[in-house]
Amino acid sequence: MEEGPQAVAEVLKIMPPVEGRREGVSFGYWYLMFSATYGAPVFLVPFLMVLYLAAWPFRVFAMYTSKIPRWTAEVESMCQIDPDDPWDISAAQNPCSIWRWMLGMDKAHTMLDKKRQSLSMGK
């Protein structure tokens, strides 16, 4: 983190929508597949999809046997994020269609791009 929050924001692609709930089964598969195949040669992607399909049940098992973290009201009140915080990155900035985004049809490929876009529209 010596480089600051922008270095981390450049790496983040999509965030799992897990606030107060478990990750969805379908989102879990696509998140696993995309996280590991991003930047892979195109000819490897079909093979990797099959490989991740074999690993996916273990991810589902881990998702449904893990506890959902619950913070106390005291901790929640101390950790409020400002509405205009430029580094507030959450699943709210995820693309509406993961398929469109994965196929390159949604050009905002990083959370930072989406945050910059929302900040420029708000000003």
Confidence of residue 67 (pLDDT cuts 50, 70, 90): confident
Look-up: residue for tokens 């991740």? Answer: 52
pTM, full prediction: 0.54
The mean pLDDT of 104-111, rounded to a whole number, is: 59
What local confidence, expressed as pLDDT, does residue 106 receive? 63
Q: Where are the domains of the chain?
A: 22-81+98-122
Q: What is the DSSP string of 31-97?
A: HHHHHHHTT--GGGHHHHHHHHHHHHHHHHHHHHHSPPP---HHHHHHTPPPTT-TT---GGGS-S-
* 23-51 pLDDT, tens digit each: 878 777 777 777 666 677 878 878 888 88
